[in-house]
Amino acid sequence: SQQGEEDPQALSIQEGENATMNCSYKTSINNLQWYRQNSGRGLVHLILIRSNEREKHSGRLRVTLDTSKKSSSLLITASRAADTASYFCATDDGGSRLTFGEGTQLTVNP
Amino acid sequence: EAGVAQSPRYKIIEKRQSVAFWCNPISGHATLYWYQQILGQGPKLLIQFQNNGVVDDSQLPKDRFSAERLKGVDSTLKIQPAKLEDSAVYLCASSPNIYEQYFGPGTRLTVT
């Protein structure tokens, strides 16, 4: 089974609204990353949060990490139509191997 | 900076045929990865190279999949013979460190 599991599987919102996606994992991690994948394209790295960090910001992105609950959330504020994509969390245990979740499909309606 | 290049972008083959994918990583990136992404799922690591040596191929179906990275730069991934369940997008990624990975556009394989 996948290390990371995203919730919800699909999310549809209006432009300007905030979007929150969650990721849960099973084993201890060193880092957790979020990636975006536009339809038919490769993945793009968004943000990395280390296991000793609780929150991190990058532009309109806010990531939180709760290692006691083995979960992370990605918040996209003031969403735009261009944010429509699939979002994946990925974890590593200190090595360079990433384990990806199943992804959340976000649709932002103009 | 040029990104990760992959070819072909699309490939349709019949089951039991062979197919090969090519990847050119970002210049200077020592680590190269091949992932398989089945529709509706996250990418699954097939093999990881550090320069021209294999670091992790534990999830590579070695009876039909093979990969090489000659001279520690370009890489090829081969499937022989292909099965219907191999239909997926094959993603190549490279990395300068153990954190951020840079992905290519992928090759969409359809096995009929």
pLDDT tens digit string along B89-106? 999 999 987 778 999 999
Task: Check CB contact under 8 Å for A95 and B101.
Answer: no
Contact residues for B3 (Cβ-Cβ < 8 A; gap 6+): B26, B102, B104
Task: Check CB contact under 8 Å for B56 and A97.
Answer: yes
pLDDT in tens, chain A (110 residues): 335 678 888 999 999 999 999 999 998 899 999 999 998 778 999 999 999 999 999 999 999 999 999 999 999 999 999 999 999 999 988 777 889 999 999 999 99
d(Cα B101, Cα A35) in Å, to the nearest integer?
10
Q: Do you find a cis peptide bond into B105, omega within 30 degrees of 0?
A: no
The chain B residue lying nearest A42, using CA atoms, is B105
Assign 3-state DSSP to chain A and report helix, strand, coil percentages, each to 5.
5, 55, 40
* Contact predicate B47/B91, CB 8 Å: no
In chain B, residues with a C-beta closer than 8 Å to the C-beta of A5 are none
What the block records as the tokens of B29 is 């990136």
Task: Check CB contact under 8 Å for A42 and B105.
Answer: yes
> How would residue B72 be classed by pLDDT, with cut points 50, 70 and 90?
confident
Residue A30 backbone class (left: φ over 0; alpha: ψ -120 to 50; beta: rest): alpha
Q: What is the model's pLDDT at position B57?
A: 94
Helix (H) or strand (E) run with residue B36 in it: strand B31-37
Residue A93 φ/ψ, nearest 5 degrees: -105, 20
In chain A, residues with a C-beta closer than 8 Å to the C-beta of B93 are 42-43
In chain B, residues with a C-beta closer than 8 Å to the C-beta of A34 are none
Helix (H) or strand (E) run with residue A58 in it: strand A55-58
d(Cα B93, Cα B106) in Å, to the nearest integer?
9
Q: Which amino acid is at B13?
A: I
Q: Using CB atoms, which residue from B43, B105, B108 is nearest to A100? A: B43
What the block records as the tokens of B27 is 């210049």
d(Cα A63, Cα A65) in Å, to the nearest integer?
7
Average pLDDT, chain B: 94
- Residues in A whose CB is inside 8 Å of some CB of B read 2, 4, 31, 33, 35, 40-45, 48, 88, 90, 92, 95-103
> How would residue B70 be classed by pLDDT, with cut points 50, 70 and 90?
confident
Q: Using CB atoms, which residue from B31, B41, B99 is nearest to A48? A: B99
d(Cα B56, Cα B37) in Å, to the nearest integer?
17
The chain B residue lying nearest A5, using CA atoms, is B42
In chain A, residues with a C-beta closer than 8 Å to the C-beta of B95 are 96
> How would residue B25 be classed by pLDDT, with cut points 50, 70 and 90?
very high
d(Cα B49, Cα B33) in Å, to the nearest integer?
6
Q: Which residue do the tokens 């959340």 mark?
A: A104
Instruction: Please give the DSSP secondary-structure letter assigned to residue B40.
Output: T
